[in-house]
Every structure is written in C-alpha cells, then in structure tokens.
Amino acid sequence: GNWGLIDKKGKRIVKCIYDHLNTENLVDEIVLFELNENCGIINLKNNEFIKTDFNHITTFVNGIAIAYEKIRDEKKYCLINIKGEEVVKLNYDDAGFFNEGLAYVGRKYADYIFKYGFIDLTGKLVIPLKYALAHSFEDGLCVVGIEDENINDKYGAIDSKGNNVIPFIYDELHS
C-alpha cells in the first residue's frame, strides 16, 4: 500500500504516494520517504520535498544521517545533511545508524569477513575496526563480537570510548 501522513485533525499533509515513510524525525519536522527504490527527505517546516539518488537513509541525529547509494552490487556510504547533500564520503562496506553520537561501520576483508568500528557525527573513526560484529550503542554500552582462537564468535560489551566493559566470554549477548 501507499503511505501518506495526516495531522492530528485528520488533514492530509503528505500525499499517499510513497512506498514507505519514516517518521522517527517527526519532532524535527523531517520525514524520510522511499519511492521506487530511492529515498528522499520531506521537510515539513518549509514544505520542501527532496528526492535523492540514495537507496537508504538512516534517521537523522543533529542534522546528520548515514545514507548509501547502491551501484551495481556495491553500497557507497556517506554522511548527509537534512538537505540531502553529501557532507562526508565514508570508505566502508557497511554502516549502521547513529545512536548516542556513534554509528558502527565495517570494512570487508574477505568473503563474509568484516571488521567493525565506530564513527562519530563528523565521520571520524573513534573506535578502531577490530570487531567481528557490532550493534548500536544503548545506555552507554554496545554489544560487540570478536573471533576467538577457534574462529568462534565471543560477545562482550564496550563503552563509548572503546573500553571493554563486559568480557568477551559469551556465546550470545543482547542489550
């Protein structure tokens, strides 16, 4: 079905023509849309609709989001502003979304083998690419995985400085 948006009184403010709408930034009057495999930004403050070439845009944090454009089978990641403009090119093969000011990024080293670290809102790598698996930060901690000497994943948690807070001894760990 098609997605649209109404206000509290039922008045339509965004036409029901979109494949999907993300309203997580609605408090900032920003809505993300998907239409025909591309994403865009609706700024409700000035009724601006911005189509982009991006195939995915994460939720904005402090006016910055991670986006990617799929070219052939590769995803090209970058940081964008709320006008849909690229502000920083990211040289990674995977990226998450910002939570608590950090987002995981990963670089592929071999088939299905990635190393993950974390960037800040400027795109600077602040926790090195050394984890086999990474999630997003929540309440100051992040579940990450490492490979042990037997190439088994072991899970623990780090803080926002990259300090190991929960040891890497668990076969499974959830936040």
Task: Please report the pLDDT score of residue 39 as a whole number.
Answer: 93
Residue-level pLDDT at 48: 87
pLDDT tens string 90-105: 999 999 999 999 999 9
What CA dihedral angle connects 91, 126, 101 and 23, to 10 degrees? 20
Write out pLDDT tens, residues 46-81. Answer: 888 899 999 999 999 999 999 999 888 889 999 999
Which pLDDT score is estimated for 110? 81
Q: What is the pLDDT of residue 151?
A: 63
Rounded distance between C-alpha atoms, residue 117 and residue 137, angstroms: 12
End-to-end CA distance of the chain: 33
In the predicted model, residues of the chain with pLDDT beneath 70 are: 148-151
Q: What is the pTM of this model?
A: 0.86
pLDDT at 175: 77
| Rg for the chain, CA atoms, rounded | 18
Render 110-146 in DSSP notation, one character per residue.
ETTEEEEEEE-TTS-EEEEEEESEE---BTTEEEEEE
Give the single-character DSSP code of 48: E
